[in-house]
Amino acid sequence: MKPQRDAGSAGAATGGATGPRTGGTWDSGLSSGEFAAVKGAGFDPVGQVLGTAVFTIGYSGAWGCPGAWSAAERRKKPASPWDPSYDLLVKTLYTARRLALTRAVAECRAAGGDGIVGVRLQVGEFPAGGVEFTALGTAVRARSRIRPGRPFTSHLSGQDFAKLIHTGWVPTGLALGIAVESRHDDWRSPRRIRWAAPNQEVDGYTQLINHARHNARNRLAVDAAEHGGDGVVVDEMELTVREGECPASVGMRDVIAEAVFVGTSITRFARSGRPAGPRPLTIMRLEREN
């Protein structure tokens, strides 16, 4: 049975603009422990929200492969192993996730919420073709006279969200860091794997994944700053490695690494000299129910 919102909480959720869902009930993805933690931090769930977008992912934008160039071509244009640009593909991967997240935020705003906790970003194949990007979470509303300018988004669980609030920090938005890099898999790499001693490092592959993760981490920091965060709490670090046909050399293969970082950007309630720790929340005035 879904818990019933009391009259005081329902009145706070309307905010004079957007009313609660029909029937005064709400659904959520919160466990009982998360529900108690969110309530204890001065927030009420207003409903589960969902955003989705289906994209075709095909053209990557990569135009060449410096690893397949001849020595003469290299003398004309010195290049690093990372010259092929996957900017178009990366832009599409960002756009798809952000579109799904934007639609979840729109549902949160329509339900009278101030933010979304427990956001899960899921990516999977769509049965009819393409890739489905989904953002799912629980919208919450603060028992406060102060409303944020825009709903926040956070991957944090209910308990972690409450800890953040009680220690003087607030989430500002879900931050993403995505990078796609490739390395030409010439005769040296597979030969070293096949005939080298089993404990020998394949340095080309090591450099590839390090480069992808480094770029994704840097982009995560930039995204967190754009959300107004002082820092970012990382939730997910995913690395996918696959092979693809070399665009510059027929019959040869490239190794492609895709790194995705997901986290929540956070900032303090107030920038003061007081040490962080449990204390009364005087800035947001999160008034508990009697």
Domain that holds residue 222: 7-12+26-268
pLDDT over 60 (residue 139)? yes
pLDDT over 50 (residue 74)? no
Q: Answer yes or no: are the C-beta atoms of 139 and 107 closer than 8 Å.
A: yes
Start-to-end CA distance of the chain, whole Å, equals 24
Per the domain annotation, does 282 fall within a domain? no
| pLDDT, mean over the chain | 77
pLDDT over 90 (residue 158)? yes
Q: Answer yes or no: are the C-beta atoms of 143 and 9 closer than 8 Å.
A: yes
Per the domain annotation, does 30 fall within a domain? yes
Per the domain annotation, does 109 fall within a domain? yes
Per the domain annotation, does 188 fall within a domain? yes
pLDDT confidence of residue 53: 95
Q: Answer yes or no: are the C-beta atoms of 35 and 16 closer than 8 Å.
A: no
Q: Answer yes or no: are the C-beta atoms of 170 and 97 closer than 8 Å.
A: no
Per-residue pLDDT band at 2 (split at 50, 70, 90): very low
The predicted-structure confidence for 205-216, as pLDDT tens digits, reads as follows 888 899 999 999
Number of structural domains the chain divides into: 1
Give Dmax (Cα) for the chain. Answer: 79
pLDDT confidence of residue 250: 66
Per the domain annotation, does 283 fall within a domain? no
Higher pLDDT, 269 or 6: 269
Per the domain annotation, does 277 fall within a domain? no
pLDDT over 90 (residue 102)? yes
Contacts of 191 (CB under 8 A, 6+ apart): none
pLDDT over 90 (residue 219)? yes
Q: Answer yes or no: are the C-beta atoms of 236 and 274 closer than 8 Å.
A: no
Per the domain annotation, does 281 fall within a domain? no
What percent of the chain has pLDDT above 70? 68
Higher pLDDT, 3 or 41: 41
How many Cβ atoms from other residues are within 10 Å of residue 151's Cβ? Answer: 22
> 39-55: string of b/e by CB count within 10 Å (b at 16+)?
bebbbbbbbbbebbbeb
pLDDT confidence of residue 188: 52
Task: Tell me what the mean pLDDT of segment 197-209 comes to.
Answer: 79
pLDDT confidence of residue 13: 35
pLDDT confidence of residue 171: 93
- 4-8, 78-82, 185-189, 200-204: which range is least confident on average? 4-8
Task: Tell me what the mean pLDDT of segment 98-104 comes to.
Answer: 96
User: What's the rounded Cα separation, in Å, for the pair 281 and 259?
Assistant: 38
pLDDT over 80 (residue 70)? no
Identify the CATH number of the domain in which residue 113 sits: 3.30.110.70
Per the domain annotation, does 138 fall within a domain? yes
pLDDT confidence of residue 118: 94
